[in-house]
Structure 1
Amino acid sequence: MTYTPSIDLDAIDAIDMHVHIESDGHGHTSLDDELMDASAAYFRPSDNRTPTVADIAARYRERRMAAVIFTVDAATATGHPSLSSEQIATEAAAHSDVVIPFGSVDPHRGKDAIDQARRLVEDYGVRGFKFHPSLQAFEPNEPSFYPLWEQLESLGVPALFHTGQNGIGAGLPGGRGIKLRYSNPILLDDVAADFPALTVILAHPSVPWQGEAISMATHKANVYIDLSGWSPTYFPAELVKAAGSFLRSKVLFGSDYPLIAPERWISDFEKLGIKPEVMPKVLKDNAIGVLNLR
């Protein structure tokens, strides 16, 4: 079944741009047990750690929200088989009123990744792609990966990249070999410059490189910031200022659910003193444009 969005935009109040599928429902998880446990210790989530697509759909429907859902294919770097983006998209098709599937491909797979990306869009209807440079162990501005970005640009779908601090591997010896430098957002400045028709979304407050992310989103029309992965209570002051003023059209609500509950995120964001007229843009309207939902 091919996913086609059927979201009634008048029936929802927010679009969460960052929701993880961590299990296929049959016992296989997106990360091995050690990394899953380290991530849980870092975030201390209170909800079900491995909700299914149907669980997420029910939860967000009840709260008048839609959710962008995805996994991360990091099989080459981690040796752990990935969840199926094809399965996620197929399951999302049954809940197209509230969920929006993104795909994920392993950049190290070269032409196979490029071909899979095309199939995920054309045959399964995914609306974008998620990448995690640190977990997938690659530098996104390395020229060998440029054919993949060219493919996504030609398909007309956004690319969402993890940036900044990383909870996966946190507290483990050597961070389990996961290197933070791959997630410096400035590496994506080359990608955004060289592929101006590709929408590049910088996921999370990019601590400790927040200034770079703000500069990129200010400078390039095709760069956005999703605000997931941190409670807004802990946002850097420069990000709060930017989100409420000159970047009000370039920032996107995201929770990182199931690690952070979306309603908690919104409650904390409302306490930052952001002007009331900015809230609908951050929570919903900017995402509508990025996802081409109108």
Structure 2
Amino acid sequence: MSETRKTPRIDAVCNLYTPEVVSSRPSWSTSFLGGKIGAGEGTLGGLSVEQHIDMMDEAGVDRAFLIAPKMGRVGLPTSWRLDPAAVIDAVQKYPDRFSGLAGIDPTEGVRGTRELEMLVKEYGFIGAHIYPHWFELAPDHRRYYPFYAKAIELDIPVQMQVGHCLRYSDEAPLPSVGRPMTLDTIACELPEAKLVGIHVGWPWTEEMIAVAYKHPNVYIGTDAYAPKHLDPKLIHYINTFGREKVLFGTDFPVIRPQRAIEEFEAMDLRPESLDALLGGNAARLYGLDA
């Protein structure tokens, strides 16, 4: 961490993207990231964990939350999930730079909640992560509730993609089930649940702001979109009455951290708002500010 900066900078939504991980991903992954998303050639082949840290240092990012994602049910041809062991290895090797987020498959039921508890209690994972569209189940579907209850018990946040779903694979396009308003239902029924709507909820970003404003334990993640393209209403929210409710993220390799940091720093944000966004809020929410 910079000696002149007291607030850490935290990438709260990030993917481990080593060459080994790249080789394990389905065939649609590279074409999607290189074509639809436009990830650079220097990224598509993957970065070692050490190169990832160099990239973070270049951007002034102190810590990244690495996802062990579950993208669809096991056995489906377009689905993929990362073995949590890969994230565990990175976190254990560089505990001062990385923290783990456990992926959730709502169809796994109690077996899945036990795995979540094991990853938190035995391996120090600090939160959970959901891709609702990969299971074609909206975030307020009953099959997620055992996981929300377990997260409350473990006192960890659950982040989930909200907004529309891009077309990952022509073989099996997925519906956009993650309207931000579904988090309103969850927060009303489970007010203790700490929920983070990542991917900003686009094209329903204002709806995401409304839900975060309503509920003390609902937050917004800025990942997956270049900051300069974010809705001006979200930037206003970050700079004013939502200062404590928005978390910086990249969804790397979708956005490189240096680009994201530079674009946020170029905005007319109050220093306290920028500090809260780039790390203060994540540190507080995930219990890293002690």
Shift of 1:292: 0.3
Equivalent in 272, 279, 284 of residue 274 of structure 2: 279
The amino acid that maps onto 1:121 is V
Equivalent in 17, 20, 27 of residue 33 of structure 1: 27
Spell out structure 1 runs of 4+ moving beyond 4 A. 8-13
Distance 2:95 2:7 in 1: 13
Give the equivalent residue in structure 2 for 1:59.
Answer: 55
Shift of 1:11: 7.6
Give the equivalent residue in structure 1 for 2:175.
Answer: 179
Asked if the contact 2:12/2:249 (under 8 Å) is kept, the reply is: yes
The structure-2 alpha-carbon separation of the partners of 1:26 and 1:143, relative to structure 1 and needing over 3 Å to count, comes to closer
Shift of 1:63: 4.1
Asked if the contact 2:160/2:198 (under 8 Å) is kept, the reply is: yes
Asked if the contact 1:39/1:168 (under 8 Å) is kept, the reply is: no
Asked if the contact 1:164/1:209 (under 8 Å) is kept, the reply is: yes
Shift of 1:173: 4.2
Give the equivalent residue in structure 2 for 1:231.
Answer: 226
Equivalent in 68, 71, 75 of residue 68 of structure 2: 71
RMSD (CA atoms): 2.5
Shift of 1:83: 1.3
Gap runs ≥5 in structure 1: 1-7
The structure-2 alpha-carbon separation of the partners of 1:168 and 1:67, relative to structure 1 and needing over 3 Å to count, comes to farther
| Mapping of residues 81-100 of structure 1, within 5 Å | 81-100=80-99
Aligned-pair identity (%): 21
Distance 1:10 1:276 in 2: 11
Equivalent in 28, 43, 62 of residue 48 of structure 1: 43
Distance 1:291 1:9 in 2: 23
Q: Equivalent residue of 2:20, what SS?
A: coil
Instruction: Give the structure-2-normalised TM-score.
Output: 0.89
Distance 1:9 1:41 in 2: 39
Q: Equivalent residue of 1:103, what SS?
A: strand
Instruction: Give the structure-1-normalised TM-score.
Output: 0.88
The amino acid that maps onto 2:163 is G
Shift of 1:217: 0.7
Distance 1:214 1:59 in 2: 30
Deviates more, 1:19-28 or 1:193-202: 19-28
Structure 1 position 103 matched with structure 2 position 102: yes
Gap runs ≥5 in structure 2: none
Distance 1:223 1:11 in 2: 25
The amino acid that maps onto 2:175 is K
Distance 2:212 2:80 in 1: 34
Give the equivalent residue in structure 2 for 1:152.
Answer: 151
Asked if the contact 1:102/1:129 (under 8 Å) is kept, the reply is: yes
Shift of 1:53: 3.5
Distance 1:185 1:26 in 2: 30
Give the equivalent residue in structure 1 for 2:211.
Answer: 216
Asked if the contact 2:59/2:261 (under 8 Å) is kept, the reply is: no
The amino acid that maps onto 1:241 is H
Asked if the contact 1:228/1:255 (under 8 Å) is kept, the reply is: yes
Shift of 1:23: 5.1
Give the equivalent residue in structure 2 for 1:122.
Answer: 121
